[in-house]
Structures are given as structure tokens and as C-alpha cells.
Amino acid sequence: MLQVSFLRDQKARVLEGLQKRNFKNIALVDQAISEDDQRKKIQFELDEQLSEMNKIAKEIGSLLKEGKKTEAEEAKQKTADIKERSKTLQQELTKIEKSLQHILYQIPNIPHDLVKAGTSEVDNEVVFQSCEVVGLGVGAIPHWELATKYNIINFELGVKITGAGFPVYWGKGARLQRGLVQYFLDKNTAAGYIEVNPPHVVNEASGYGTGQLPDKEGQMYYINQEQLYLIPTAEVPVTNLYRDELLDEKQLPIKHTAFSQCYRREAGSYGAHVRGLNRLHQFEKVELVRIEKPENSYAALDEMVEHVKEILNDLNLPFRILRLCGGDTGFASAMTYDFEVWSAAQEKWLEVSSVSNVETFQSSRLKCRYKAGGKTQLVHTLNGSAMALPRIMAAILENNQTAEGISIPDKLRPYTGFDKI
């Protein structure tokens, strides 16, 4: 959430950033500033009323000591009138604070200066590509056919049990999935990330804290009776560990990794581009979360990018890195790098990781701050996938298929216990 002081003091920059995002409802900026002006006016009057009431309370004591009961009673009545006015002002203040917060929740983060303007994924910048890519040629088949051929993923059983987008991993498919999770966690902890096993459901405050609410409310599964949400990523519960926390400078940086199931409704998606593992409602993912001092956050982002790059190199998968344009950057992010692996059988790029710096956008909502040199300020938060499993699985199957079966990358063999499917 952007702070009103930033909207006011950096208005030209804010409007330029929102334009870079193609954000249409820029009138919200002026509305927020106007609401804040009104909030300040009400707060000023309320403070004056309370100050006057305290002053009169002292006068009443003096009047009573002097035996001036009539004057004391008049002062008491004046105090009662002020209390009533203060009550009205407090109600007005609460109402306008809620209105202001609602407006601020609708304004996305401002992109970093390096982020270019653009309207969609076609305007994203390719900043790195590991190698030239080619199709597998005659006889190559997509992962959903490989899954059936080798009996490692059963999509029909998932439909039977739950519905489309909930596959069942079977035999060596399940072992490969489990091996990938363990490999990712081991890579992350070796790089200094502390592992966390968080809840897979969160309350509304947690959803608002990291910006999933209200922006992505329609994409989240909601448990009505308990008023809880199934998480779309471990970023939500892990980052919320530090909601309403005042950290000491010595605690930073904080680096966490977490494995979780992820749940996304992805309503209205149909067609070949979502077949098989390309897009699921439930999937497994290993996440990275960092909490940094502002001056260190972009160096931390670069470090996260290099870390994910190393993982993909270890898996020997062809991949590329894109810096997202303004129109494709997520609501909360100031800068995002997407990692895409080459699906040889489908002959298309598949996103497998997204690494983002959201600066103070989440910490402002979370009220997560740190104290250094007597000064208190908001931290920067970062998050990234290392990695999301479905499309990594698809890429491993498709890029490693041979006439004899599917070859398992060398780095994964200690985790799977086999070298071929």
C-alpha cells in the first residue's frame, strides 16, 4: 500500500508510474489526498475539543474548591457538550479512515525506473537466455501424453476425485515430485534461507497484509464458515510472520524458504495453453521470502535472480529471464523478473518462477518496521518462486524424453533414487 504522504509529495512520479502500468483509475490519487485532507481537518478539531475538555476539567476542580458551584455546573454542562461533539467527530474520523484505506488498497505499487512501459507480456524485456532452443523433432510428445504413456500422472483420476486442475501423481511421478521439493529446499537452505513450514490457510488480515486482497480475491478459494482463505503461495503466511513487528536492525536481512501446496481458482481458463500441468488449481511450490533494509533490497533481488538461475542450470533446462513491463507487473510489485523454461514438445516458453521486489508496499500494510539509530522505518519485502513444480515437471519430462524413456537430470537422481522413467 502506498502511503498518502508519498502520493502527495511524489504525485508527478506516482502518476507517471501508474501510466506506465496502464492503470486507468488515476482519479484515486486525488481522492486519497482529498480524503486525507478531510481526515486531518477532523483530527485537528477532535484534538482541540479534547484539549478544551481537559482544560475545563481542571477549572471545575478549582471552581468547586472556591465554592463556585453554579459556575462549576455550567462548566460540567460545557464538558458534556464537548464530549458529545467529540463522539461525533470520532465517528466521522473512523468512517473517513476506512474510506481512505479502501481507496489506498485499490492503488497498485509504482514500478521501478528500470521497468519499461508496456501493455502486456509481449512488451516484456528478455534480459538473459541460457541457450538457443529447438523442438525435439519427429516423435516428441507433450508431457500430458508422456504422463499417460509412463503412468506417472493421472489427470482423469483428479477429475473424478475433485475436478479439472487437480492431477494425481503416481509411482515415479510422485517420487519425482517429492524429489524436486526436497532438492529445492536443500538448495535454498544451503544458500542461507531458514526453512519455515507455515499454515496453508490464512485469515483476511494476512490476505490484505501481502496485497492478495482485495486485488486477487476472485482467484482465491474461500472457506466461508471459518472466513479463511486457501493460500495462493507460501509468500502470504511467511511474510505475515512479521506483521505488526518492530524489528531490530541486527535481525536484518531475514531470509526464509517454505514448501506449500498452492491453491488458485484461475477461473475462465480453457484451451490447449492450459492442458496437462500448464495451469492447475492446486500445485506444489517452494517459495523464497526476504525482508531487507531499503538500501539493500535491489542487491538482494539480484542475488535471488542468480539463485534461481543456478537451480535451472543445475536441472539442465533451457530457460530465459524477463524483466516485466509495467502493464504485466503484479499489483504489489515494483520490479519483477520472470523465469521461463522451454517446453520442447509444445515449442513454447512456460513461466516457472517469478522474483519480485515489492519495496514498502507490503510492509506498509503489514506495519512491519525496523529500528536503526533511533529511527524507525518500513522494511522492504521480496519474494520469489524457487521453484513452482508443475511446469518444471512438464519441462523435465518433455526436454528429457528419449526412445528408451525419460532421463532424470543428474542433480535429481540422489533425490529420486532412479535415473530413468
Of 128-137, 141-150, 214-223, 325-334, the least confident: 128-137
At residue 131, does pLDDT exceed 70?
A: yes
Judge whether residue 269 has pLDDT over 70: no
Q: Report whether pLDDT(257) > 70.
A: yes
What is the location of CATH 3.30.930.10 in the chain?
121-416
Long-range contacts made by residues 38-47, C-beta under 8 angstroms, separation at least 24? Answer: 38/96, 39/93, 39/96, 39/97, 39/100, 42/89, 42/92, 42/93, 42/96, 43/93, 45/89, 46/86, 46/89, 46/90, 46/93
Euclidean distance between CA atoms 364 and 69, whole angstroms: 52
Q: Is the pLDDT of residue 272 over 60?
A: no
Q: From the CB of residue 107, how many other CB atoms can be counted at a distance below 10 Å?
A: 21
- The pLDDT value recorded for residue 140 is 87
Architecture category of domain 121-416 in CATH: 2-Layer Sandwich (3.30)
The predicted structure's pLDDT at residue 344: 85
> Is 383 labeled as ligand-binding?
yes
HSE-CB for 273 with a 13 A CA cutoff: 8
Q: Is 74 annotated as a binding residue?
A: no
User: Would you say residue 144 has pLDDT above 90?
Assistant: yes
Residue 274: pLDDT band (50, 70, 90) is confident
What integer is the mean pLDDT of 48-66? 87
| Model confidence band, residue 41 (pLDDT cutoffs 50, 70, 90) | very high
Average pLDDT for 29-33: 98
CB 227 within 8 Å of CB 272: no
| pLDDT greater than 80 at residue 26 | yes
Instruction: Check: pTM over 0.85? Answer yes or no.
Output: yes
**Helix 389-399 and helix 172-190: axis angle, to 10°?**
120
C-alpha cell at 336: 519483477
Q: What is the overall mean pLDDT for the chain?
A: 94
The CA distances from residue 285 to 63, 78, 181, 211, 353, in Å, are 71, 63, 8, 19, 10
User: Highest-confidence range of 44-48, 61-65, 139-143, by mean pLDDT?
Assistant: 44-48
Quick one: pLDDT at residue 273? Answer: 58
Confidence (pLDDT) at 54: 87
Of 1.10.287.40, 3.30.365.10, 3.30.390.10, 3.40.920.10, which CATH number belongs to 4-105? Answer: 1.10.287.40
Q: Is 266 annotated as a binding residue?
A: yes
One-letter amino acid for residue 153 of the chain: I
Task: Tell me the average pLDDT across 198-226.
Answer: 94
**Per-residue pLDDT at 169:** 97
**352 annotated binding-site participant:** yes
With a pLDDT cut of 70, the percent of the chain lying above it is: 98
> Which is higher by pLDDT, 80 or 182?
182
Using the predicted structure, report yes or no on whether residue 104 has a pLDDT greater than 80: yes
pLDDT (mean) for 276-296: 96
User: Rounded to whole angstroms, how far apart are CA atoms 100 and 160?
Assistant: 46
Residue 6's closest CA among 150, 104, 97, 76?
A: 104
> Model confidence at 268, in pLDDT bands (50, 70, 90)?
very low
What tens digit of pLDDT does each residue of 330-376 get?
A: 999 999 999 999 998 888 999 999 999 999 999 999 999 999 988 99
pLDDT, average across residues 239-266? 96
Is pLDDT above 90 for 241?
yes
What residue ranges of the chain are covered by domains with CATH 1.10.287.40?
A: 4-105
- Is residue 270 pLDDT above 90, yes or no? no
353 is in an annotated binding site: yes
| 287 labeled binding residue | yes
- pLDDT-based confidence at residue 271 (cuts at 50, 70, 90): low
Residue 421 and residue 333: Cα distance in Å, rounded? Answer: 39
Can you give the pLDDT at residue 315?
Answer: 97
Q: What value does the mean pLDDT take over residues 400-404?
A: 92
